[in-house]
Amino acid sequence: MKTPVTVLGLGAMGAALARAFAAAGHPTTVWNRTPGRAPDLTDVTRAKSIGDAIAASPLVVVCLLTNDTVHDTLEPIAPELAGRSVVNLTNGTPEQARRMADWAAQQGVDYLDGGIMAVPDMIGGPAAFILYSGSPVAFEKYQPALAVLARPLFVGSDAGLAALQDLSLLTGMYGMFAGVTHALALVSSEKVSPTAFTQDLLVPWLTAMLGTVQQIAKDLEYGAEPGAAGSNLAMQAAAFGNLIDASRGQGVDPGLLTPMGDLLKRAVEQGHGDEDLAALVRLLSER
Ligand code: FVH
């Protein structure tokens, strides 16, 4: 007998989660604030009320727009949730996750917070993973059911840790998107084909640079060999000015780049010119 699961929220992601549970044979009950969402979803039970939805399953998966929405949705039906496990896959901050975990504990609810590292089409596929933190008991018990969504990774009993690492991964992604956005604006200021540039140059370059990322992490964790930086910050700060000047010269707003240039300059001014990018990580964390 597969674990019965309730999914609250049938937006793009909630519908994908419900579809994966149903496809794997879990009796799946769904509820959404606005009826009629995800009309193509089959093999699920559409509950008439949120109370009916919760009563149907010991495992309740929530995927709404924001954590404030989650709290406002669950608060009125807290008594019905007692004794069940809630897995909240809504994007949020570590602080929100910890507040939700405290609230859940007060209601007698086993709580797991989660960060989905996938877009809806990836759910149930090999590249998707979901970070979980909070109740180790709930994770142990429901790991087989959660595994049908994406590779489940438990990152700690502090409920905030999944959100922390989820948001850190997203900042890495947005940093890359910011760079790609600027690069495409820059080449588009002349007669250069964006698709040819991306395929032949940008993607191979970014792929090669990805290979250097682990070294930054190692230098941060274990300390770098003095003078070992092959691309030291003083050199990078000097060259970075060209990125800004060339952008302005080509009529491209350098706004996505200037904060990085400012940080490089600050690092050099503070005597870190012969170090590598790990020094910037430390500078960012200084208050
Ligand atoms: N879609 C994605 O690519 C990302 C991948 C990583 C994880 N995120 C997060 O997942 C959460 C849900 O995202 P979504 O894509 O399902 O979002 P929508 O399609 O916009 O659906 C939003 C659902 O939230 C319900 N909702 C909104 N406000 C309320 C409210 N005040 N009370 C109750 N429910 C509410 C909405 O219901 P309705 O508008 O149809 O009534 C949808 O079910 C999100 O945290 C992403 O960051 C997705």
Q: Given a cut of 70, is residue 99 above it in pLDDT?
A: yes
Based on the domain organization, do 169 and 279 belong to the same domain? yes
Measured CA to CA in angstroms, residue 10 lies from 72, 81, 178, 285 at distances of: 17, 19, 30, 38
Q: Is the CB of 17 under 6 A from ligand 1?
A: no
Distance 64 CA to ligand 1 centre (A): 4
Question: What is the complex's ipTM, to 2 decimals?
Answer: 0.99
Ligand 1 neighbour 120 (Cβ under 6 A): yes
Rg of the chain over Cα atoms, rounded to whole angstroms, equals: 23
* Position 287, amino acid: R
> What pLDDT digit, counting tens, does each position of 15-59 carry?
999 999 999 999 999 999 999 999 999 999 999 999 999 999 999
Q: Are residues 62 and 182 in the same domain?
A: no
Mean pLDDT score of the chain, rounded to an integer?
96
Range of the domain at 91: 5-156
Distance of CA 202 to the CA centre of its chain: 24
Of 126, 156, 186, the position where a domain reaches its end is 156
Q: Does residue 47 share a domain with residue 13?
A: yes
Q: Are 139 and 254 members of one domain? A: no
Task: Tell me the C-alpha distance between 117 and 96, whole Å.
Answer: 18
- pLDDT for the residue 225: 77
Q: Which residues contact 192 (CB under 8 A, 6 or more apart)?
A: none
Picking from 131, 90, 138, 77, the residue whose alpha carbon sits closest to that of residue 110 is 138
- Same domain membership, residue 178 and residue 102: no
Are 35 and 118 found together in one domain? yes
CA distance linking residue 109 with residue 105, whole number of Å: 6
- Of all protein residues, whose CA lies closest to atom 3 belonging to ligand 1? 119
Q: What would the mean pLDDT of 69-98 be, rounded to a whole number?
A: 97
From 133, 156, 179, give the residue that closes a domain.
Answer: 156
Q: For position 176, what pLDDT does the model report?
A: 97
What average pLDDT score do residues 76-84 get? 96
Residues 186 and 114 in one domain: no
What CATH number should be reported for the domain holding residue 189? 1.10.1040.10
Query: What is the number of domains present in the chain?
Result: 2
SS3 34: coil
CA 41 – ligand 1 centroid, Å: 16
**Together in a domain, 212 and 271:** yes
Residue 96's DSSP bridge partners are none
Q: What is the pLDDT of residues 181-216, one digit of tens each?
A: 999 999 999 999 999 999 999 999 999 999 999 999
